[in-house]
Amino acid sequence: MTQLHTDRLTLRRWRDSDLEPWAAMNADPEVRRHLGGPLTREQSDASVARFEADWDRRGYGWWALAVRDTGEFIGFAGLDQVDEGMPFTGVETGWRLARPAWGHGYATEAARTVLAHGFGTLGLPEILAVTTAGNLRSQAVMRRIGMTRDPAGDFDDPSAPEGPLRANVLFRISRGDARRQ
């Protein structure tokens, strides 16, 4: 299923018209604060090409997020294979919103639907989420959707430079735990 709907959002495949607002988000240092700094337009466009290739190859990935009423593009949410080189394997969820879209509950709303899709349609046994120790907003989304921090999973991201991006935390939710909520 490549398109999902929530009360206020559409999760859909990427369109050419998303490239510009996506690049604007990725040029915003606040949006990229925990992600390794702003991206150039080329890097931003290349990320969408990778997302779409992932979708074609394996049938899941990062959805573009749009507000249902207006069609406005506001960011992404979805599922991805944990990068090689991480100290654990599995499928992770994540989210990224343009700054004006923060504080509306959109990430949580999208993420709940992403989890339901991951456990239901894709039949995943467990979904992980990873972020820097300092990214409290993202960790709050994880908690709101019922994920639990696994303190044994704390790790230093080997691909991050020395500094605040190094220390990372791991959250988990199993299909059983999601069902019980």
Point out which residues bind ligand COA (CB under 6 A).
31, 34-35, 94-97, 102-108, 131, 135, 137-138, 141
Q: Shortest Cβ distance from residue 77 to ligand COA (Å)? A: 8
In this chain, which residue has its C-beta nearest to ligand COA? Answer: 105
DSSP per-residue codes, the chain: ---EE-SSEEEE---GGGHHHHHHHHT-TTTTTTTTS---HHHHHHHHHHHHHHHHHHS--EEEEEETTT--EEEEEEEEEPPTTSSS-SEEEEEEE-GGGTTSSHHHHHHHHHHHHHHTTS--SEEEEEEETT-HHHHHHHHHTT-EE-GGG-EE-TTSPSSTTTEEEEEEEEHHHHHH-
Q: Shortest Cβ distance from residue 56 to ligand COA (Å)? A: 24
CB closer to ligand COA out of 6 and 119: 6
CB closer to ligand COA out of 31 and 124: 31
CB closer to ligand COA out of 159 and 176: 159
